[in-house]
Structures are given as C-alpha cells and as structure tokens.
Amino acid sequence: MKNYRIAKSTLDDTGESKFYYNPCDPIVCELNSAQSAAICRKKLNVGSTNCGDQNSLIK
C-alpha cells in the first residue's frame, strides 16, 4: 500500500475537516480523530479541471 503525505487540510461544505493530497490525484484523506489516523480512499468522480490549482477543493 502506497503512503501519501498530507498536503493540506481544509473544510468542506459539511464543515468537517478533510485532508487532500493533490487536486490531480483521485485520493482524498480524512483524519479520523478517534483513531488519530488519516484514512485515504479513491474518489471516482475527480476530473482534471482542478489540476494546477492547489487551492481548489476536490469536488
């Protein structure tokens, strides 16, 4: 299993803290505060529209 460094954190529209790796990479990480671990999963609906814009959320 590949390790991903957490690039930045941001709040999504539900108010929960989400940890994103790279807008071009279809991986989203969530910090599980109960386990003190980042849980990463693939997002299947990520396009390339946010590539190059590091400030964009993965929608």
pLDDT band at 54 (very low <50, low <70, confident <90, very high): very low
Task: Give yes or no for residue 38 having a pLDDT over 50.
Answer: yes
pLDDT at 59: 43
pLDDT band at 28 (very low <50, low <70, confident <90, very high): low
- What is the C-alpha to C-alpha distance for residues 4 and 15, in angstroms, rounded to an integer? 23
18 or 7: which leads in pLDDT = 18
Averaged over 26-51, what is the pLDDT? 62
- Region of 56 (left: φ > 0; alpha: ψ -120 to 50; beta: rest) is beta
42 or 15: which leads in pLDDT = 42
State both tokens at 49: 């529209």
